[in-house]
């Protein structure tokens, strides 16, 4: 975009903006709010819903402000009588095809369409009701995603998300006219197609057409069952997102209040996925060093670069799209599933609970984890390791249902054991975080010294660039790691499946000479996960990232291998990283799937 400034007037107020700016963004600069539905800050312009229309002096037709660039001398009215009438008609037309049963809708109270309908006081039906009865049956074949076409306004945000951000294109616009709909290939159930369950489409759907499959009722039932011991784990990114659904601005850390709320709700033990994030670093770091040793010393053929495996959306993507690279994935389970396997074994034994009577719930910023917990590989405790996965949004809903005044809560601490963690685990929630945590530990194991970055902050690994790269020189190693002396460790990081796709193509073609790659399925990493509060935007994700790194800096321990509970579990139960028990409980394998 050029630096050339364009002068125009919006609602009679002069403003100068860069050439190429849309009328919508120029109006925003003056704090005039223009409603939008198909437009989204993360996506390309579609210009199909027309609720953003404005009047441009001299033009015969109203202009879609999201799709019209400003021009010199332009005079725009964002809220004239003509504009309001047109917008009202647009909303009425959308509602005439919409199954507006708001009281039963998961999006009630968080719905962009509902907000507009109430803002424009849409009342009696002006247009004929066209909601077809047959469309009212939602596709709930997926354990993660519910798709209800009767709520769809065909804004196509989901289609653009799945294509532009995720390079999956499980959804497309099919047919035309009044038959047009958002569909999978041949309208097959979602669980039969390439969908990764990432939930990014949910985060951007302005209505209740795409939502998570919710398990709130099942969880309440377990809590209210006196025979059940219900443990809950909370993922790193939940503590910096949850506040947004409970009255805080983005970027607020609510860890202590969240723990307090979970105790009020009635969970028997409130524990932390961060504990198994630290454990993941021990296992995955050891796995990387082992692979490197095999390659460099034993001359064995091992799959390198090794790739992280914490993100189940990414795992399913890889299974569908790059089944030839499954050996490159670390065999480590995600922290959620490590936690699940340990909860019903180690924890149960330590606390004297019969695992049969345990219900294991996890609160995740993620919808793909709902799918992951049901994978047949995830039953190593002898039971389903994790029973129910709730999103950050579902937890917020439970907090409200429980009548808790969240903002007034006093901070509380996680229970023990499996409630202790380090800053290295917290940063799992941001893209680059797993890599940073792994390097903090691996570098120290190999050299006996801390990573050579001020205050342990490995800045080159942070930020939202699509694919990040870094190199770390390894010098003056301990004798047992002499084969790494003078080696340069080369790493890469991708977030969002579009970036992962680019990186994987390079790996497949042999053009990417890295040792270790971190991939997170969602833009920004888990902090931008498909289960996080809606809305999302680059600014919101930046705020959440700041909160994550702030939480890390505020913790007394910031290296996974220093977590006392991690040291203890190896002593009491696991033996050593990659040991026999670890192999049984903490590692898994993958399954090639077809893309078509």
Partner 1 sequence: MSNIETLIKTLVEKHGKTRNSLMPVLQGIVKEEHFLSEEAMIAVAKELDLSAADVYGTASFYTFLDTVPRGKNIIRICKTISCHMKGKDEIIEALEDVLKIKVGETTHDKKFTLLTANCLGWCHKGPVMLVNDEVFPEINQQKAVEIIEGIAKASK
Catalytic-residue membership of 369: yes
Is the bond preceding 535 in cis, omega lying within 30 degrees of 0?
Answer: yes
Considering only residues 145 to 164 of the shown chain, the ones binding partner 1 according to CB under 8 A are 163
Catalytic-residue membership of 284: yes
Cα dihedral 390, 393, 398, 403, rounded to 10, equals 160
| List 17, 50, 360, 512, residue binding ligand FES (CB under 6 A) | 50
Closest CA to 201 of 595, 538, 536, 541: 536
* DSSP at 164: I
472 binds ligand SF4 (CB under 6 A): no
Handedness of CA 390, 432, 286, 282 (dihedral sign): negative
Catalytic-residue membership of 482: no
Other C-beta atoms closer than 10 Å to the C-beta of 437 total 31
| List 24, 56, 168, 399, residue binding ligand SF4 (CB under 6 A) | 168
| List 6, 8, 15, 37, residue binding ligand FES (CB under 6 A) | 37
Using the minimum distance from each CB to ligand FES, give the nearer residue, 150 or 156: 156
Rounded-to-integer distance, Cα 308 and Cα 583, Å: 17
21 binds ligand FES (CB under 6 A): no
Rounded-to-integer distance, Cα 306 and Cα 296, Å: 14
Which option in partner 1, ligand SF4, ligand FES, none does residue 36 bind, with CB closer than 5 to 8 A by kind?
ligand FES
From 112, 287, 394, 551, the catalytic residue: 287
Residue 578 region, left (φ>0) first, then alpha (ψ -120 to 50), else beta?
left
184 binds partner 1 (CB under 8 A): yes
Using the minimum distance from each CB to ligand SF4, give the nearer residue, 166 or 421: 166
Which option in ligand SF4, partner 1, ligand FES, none does residue 50 bind, with CB closer than 5 to 8 A by kind?
ligand FES
Catalytic-residue membership of 3: no
- β-bridge partners, 272: 234
| List 30, 67, 173, 295, residue binding partner 1 (CB under 8 A) | 173
Using the minimum distance from each CB to ligand SF4, give the nearer residue, 71 or 108: 108
Q: Catalogue the E-assigned strands of 267-348.
A: 269-272, 306-307
From 373, 526, 543, 582, the catalytic residue: 526
Q: Residue for token digits 């901070």?
A: 411
DSSP 190-221: GGGSS-----HHHHH-SSSSEEE---HHHHHH
39 binds ligand FES (CB under 6 A): yes
Considering only residues 99 to 138 of the shown chain, the ones binding ligand SF4 according to CB under 6 A are 100-102, 105, 107-108, 111, 113-114
CB 532 to ligand FES: min, Å: 23
Closest CA to 490 of 450, 439, 444, 425: 439
Using the minimum distance from each CB to partner 1, give the nearer residue, 4 or 596: 596
Closest CA to 190 of 176, 173, 165, 170: 170
Rounded-to-integer distance, Cα 291 and Cα 304, Å: 8
From 284, 394, 518, 551, the catalytic residue: 284
Rounded-to-integer distance, Cα 139 and Cα 141, Å: 6
Closest CA to 530 of 311, 339, 334: 311
370 binds ligand SF4 (CB under 6 A): no
What is the distance between the terminal CA atoms of the chain, rounded to a whole angstrom?
Answer: 39
Catalytic-residue membership of 330: yes
509 binds partner 1 (CB under 8 A): no
Stretch that binds ligand FES, among 45-53, 135-143, 450-458, 561-569 (CB under 6 A): 45-53
Q: Assess contact for 40 and 157: CB atoms under 8 A.
A: yes
Considering only residues 38 to 57 of the shown chain, the ones binding ligand SF4 according to CB under 6 A are none
Which option in partner 1, ligand SF4, ligand FES, none does residue 186 bind, with CB closer than 5 to 8 A by kind?
partner 1
| List 6, 15, 21, 36, residue binding ligand FES (CB under 6 A) | 36
Cα dihedral 570, 443, 466, 170, rounded to 10, equals -30
Catalytic-residue membership of 509: no
Using the minimum distance from each CB to ligand FES, give the nearer residue, 50 or 561: 50
Which option in ligand SF4, ligand FES, partner 1, none does residue 596 bind, with CB closer than 5 to 8 A by kind?
partner 1
Using the minimum distance from each CB to ligand FES, give the nearer residue, 47 or 256: 47
| List 50, 87, 88, 154, residue binding ligand SF4 (CB under 6 A) | 154
From 49, 111, 201, 310, the catalytic residue: 310
193 binds partner 1 (CB under 8 A): yes
Closest CA to 527 of 270, 279, 201, 239: 239
Stretch that binds ligand FES, among 47-55, 317-325, 396-404, 551-559 (CB under 6 A): 47-55
| List 83, 170, 262, 279, residue binding ligand SF4 (CB under 6 A) | 170
Catalytic-residue membership of 571: no
* DSSP at 77: E
| List 10, 83, 94, 182, residue binding ligand SF4 (CB under 6 A) | 182
From 55, 112, 244, 372, the catalytic residue: 372
Rounded-to-integer distance, Cα 404 and Cα 411, Å: 14
**Binding residues with ligand SF4: total (CB under 6 A):** 39
From 107, 147, 151, 369, the catalytic residue: 369
Rounded-to-integer distance, Cα 392 and Cα 433, Å: 20
Closest CA to 252 of 56, 392, 69, 150: 392
Catalytic positions:
284, 287, 310, 330, 369, 372, 377, 526
List contacts with partner 1 (CB under 8 A). 163, 168-176, 183-186, 193-194, 595-596
List contacts with ligand FES (CB under 6 A). 36-39, 47-52, 64, 66-67
């Amino acid at each position: 975009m050029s630096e050339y400034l364009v002068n125009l007037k919006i609602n009679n107020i002069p403003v100068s903006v860069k050439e190429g700016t849309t009328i919508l963004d120029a109006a925003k600069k003056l704090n005039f709010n223009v409603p939008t539905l198909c437009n989204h800050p993360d996506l390309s312009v579609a210009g199909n819903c027309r609720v953003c229309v404005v009047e441009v002096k001299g033009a015969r037709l109203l202009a879609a402000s999201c799709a019209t660039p400003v021009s010199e001398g332009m005079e725009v009215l964002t809220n004239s009588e003509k504009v309001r009438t047109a917008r009202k008609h647009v909303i009425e037309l959308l509602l005439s095809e919409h199954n507006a049963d708001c009281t039963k809708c998961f999006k009630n109270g968080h719905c962009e369409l509902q907000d507009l309908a109430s803002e424009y006081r849409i009342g009696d039906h002006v247009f004929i009701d066209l909601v077809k009865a047959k469309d009212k049956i939602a596709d709930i074949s997926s354990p993660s995603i519910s798709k209800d076409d009767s709520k769809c306004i065909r804004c196509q945000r989901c289609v653009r998300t799945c294509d532009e951000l995720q390079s999956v294109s499980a959804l497309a616009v099919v047919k035309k006219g009044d038959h047009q709909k958002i569909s999978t290939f041949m309208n097959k159930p979602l669980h039969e197609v390439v969908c990764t369950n990432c939930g990014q489409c949910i985060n951007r759907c302005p209505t209740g057409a795409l939502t998570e499959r919710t398990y709130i009722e099942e969880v309440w039932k377990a809590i209210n069952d006196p025979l059940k011991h219900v443990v809950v784990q909370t993922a790193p990114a939940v503590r910096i997102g949850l506040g947004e659904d409970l009255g805080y601005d983005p970027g607020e850390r609510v860890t202590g209040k969240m723990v307090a709320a979970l105790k009020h709700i009635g969970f028997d033990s409130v524990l932390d996925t961060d504990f198994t994030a630290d454990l993941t670093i021990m296992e995955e770091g050891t796995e990387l060093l082992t692979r490197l040793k095999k390659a460099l010393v034993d001359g064995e053929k091992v799959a390198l670069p090794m790739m992280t495996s914490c993100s189940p959306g990414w795992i399913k993507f890889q299974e569908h799209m790059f089944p030839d690279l499954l050996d490159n994935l670390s065999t480590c389970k995600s922290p959620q599933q490590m936690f699940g396997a340990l909860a019903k074994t180690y924890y149960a034994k330590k606390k004297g609970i019969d695992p049969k009577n345990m219900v294991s719930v996890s609160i995740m910023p993620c919808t793909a984890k709902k799918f992951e917990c049901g994978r047949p590989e995830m039953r190593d405790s002898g039971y389903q390791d994790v029973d129910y996965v709730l999103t950050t949004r579902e937890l917020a809903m439970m907090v409200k249902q429980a009548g808790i005044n969240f903002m007034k809560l006093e901070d509380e601490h996680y229970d023990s054991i499996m409630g202790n963690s380090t800053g290295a685990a917290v940063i799992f929630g941001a893209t680059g975080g797993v890599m940073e945590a792994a390097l903090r530990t691996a570098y120290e194991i190999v050299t006996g010294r801390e990573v050579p970055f001020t205050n342990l902050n490995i800045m080159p690994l942070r930020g939202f660039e699509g694919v990040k790269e870094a190199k770390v020189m390894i010098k003056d190693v301990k004798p047992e790691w002499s084969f790494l002396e003078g080696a340069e460790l080369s790493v890469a990081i991708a977030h969002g499946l579009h970036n992962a796709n680019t990186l994987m193509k390079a790996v497949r073609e042999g053009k990417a000479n890295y040792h270790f790659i971190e991939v997170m399925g969602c833009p920004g990493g888990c902090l931008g996960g498909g289960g996080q509060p809606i809305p999302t935007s680059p600014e919101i994700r930046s705020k959440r990232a700041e909160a994550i790194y702030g939480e890390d800096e505020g913790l007394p321990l910031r290296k996974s291998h220093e977590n006392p509970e991690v040291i203890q579990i190896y002593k009491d139960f696991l033996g050593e990283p990659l040991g026999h028990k670890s192999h049984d409980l903490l590692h898994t394998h993958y399954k090639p799937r077809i893309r078509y």
